[in-house]
Amino acid sequence: MITLQAAVTGALVGGLYALMAAGLSATWGVLRVINLAHFGLILIGAYLTYQVATSWGLDPIATLLVSAPALFVAGALLQGAYDRLGVAGFNSLLMSFGLLIVIIQIATNIWTADFQRIAPELNRYATGGLPLGRLILPTPALIAFSFAVVLIGGGYIALQRTFVGRGMRAFAEDRNVAAAFGIDHRRLGLLLGGLSGVSAAVAGMVFALSNSITPTTPYEWFGTVFAVVILGGVGNLLGTLVAGVGIGVLSGLVSVIWSPSTEPFMLFLAVILALLLRPQGLFRTAGAQ
């Protein structure tokens, strides 16, 4: 039962990993921008949740009314700047890492380097759990998983069935041909950057539900989130969700069967093996999915 509980909790927490990875994967796959500043946007999303919930007494989930539009604008502006400066590929990795450090410093100046956490009386989700037979589904992880399914599932459907989505897929396949068919890559880039910002807002909110926030937290996310992006296939949203859940389950099982300290070893061993066997990612077919 303990093993099953750990696997179920891990699967739900995988939703958070997928939420964090979705925006990064999409901009990488479609726009060829490896945007490490995305981690900074998630951090700002977490702090906005904390700040708005604390200052205005708003329900933490409702803080998305503030953080989602704010980070949509931030994400779009960021992508606009990358586009105008012609930043892509390896350059984007370096530049966005610098931006991440700037964001972390700004967060330090505003919220200090100390741990910040939404007070228990303002956060009814933090310690809740939904019983399911003998299992318990931790509320924050369940919320993370639900948002991941809705957002990533919605994003996948939008990519498949809307004109804008098809435009993004075409752009990811071949920029020049897509442009010849009238696809405005700048507008698409702004939209995708903005939506990526919204995913960061949601991921940040979910993280803040049950965790303390400190400006250097993003560094702790790097390994797992990149593993999710790579395993899921760069640009593949559904793959991101499946990889997030898979990594969550793997982490939970390894932690219980062996030891939590072996979790990073097993996780990255799995990533290395997966890349050796399927270098394109476990689920990637081609372009943005």
Partner 1 sequence: MRTKVLAVFVVAALAATTAACSKKDDGGTTSTPLVVGSTLSLTGAFAATGIIHKVAGEAFIARLNANGGLLGRQVEWKVLDDQSDTAKVGQLYEQLISQDKVDAILGPYATPNILATMAVAERHGLVLPHHTAVLAPQLTYKCQFPGWSIGPTPNQFIPNLLFDALATLPQPPKKIAVLTSQSGSAAFVTNGFGNDKTGLLTIAAQRGIEVVVNAPYPPTISDWGSIAAQVAGAKPDLVINNGLGVDTVNALTAMKQLGYRPPMTFSLFPAPGPLLGLGADSAGVLSVSIFEPNAPLISKAGADAQAIIDDYKSRATTAKIPYTAFETQAAASWNAWQILAASIKGAGKVDHKAMCDWLHANPVDTTFSGRLTFDASKNNFWAPTLGIKQIQNGQWVMVWPSDRAAGTLTGPTAS
Site for partner 1 in 9-28 (CB under 8 A): 9-10, 12-13
Other Cβ atoms less than 10 A from the Cβ of 30: the count is 26
Q: How many residues bind partner 1 (CB under 8 A)?
A: 51
| SS3 call for 132 | strand
Euclidean distance between CA atoms 112 and 135, whole angstroms? 39
122 binds partner 1 (CB under 8 A): no
80 binds partner 1 (CB under 8 A): no
Euclidean distance between CA atoms 205 and 59, whole angstroms? 11
Question: By the 8 A CB rule, do 35 and 169 touch?
Answer: no
Q: CB under 8 A: which stretch of 31-39, 64-72, 131-139, 193-201 binds partner 1?
A: 131-139
127 binds partner 1 (CB under 8 A): yes
Euclidean distance between CA atoms 39 and 46, whole angstroms? 11
55 binds partner 1 (CB under 8 A): no
Nearest-approach distance from CB 211 to partner 1, in angstroms:
7
- Start-to-end Cα distance in the chain: 36
78 binds partner 1 (CB under 8 A): no
- Residue with smaller CB distance to partner 1, 112 or 162: 112
Residues paired with 137 in a beta bridge: 130
Q: Which of 140, 155, 194, 218 binds partner 1 (CB under 8 A)?
A: 140
Site for partner 1 in 207-226 (CB under 8 A): 210-212, 214-216, 219-221, 223-224
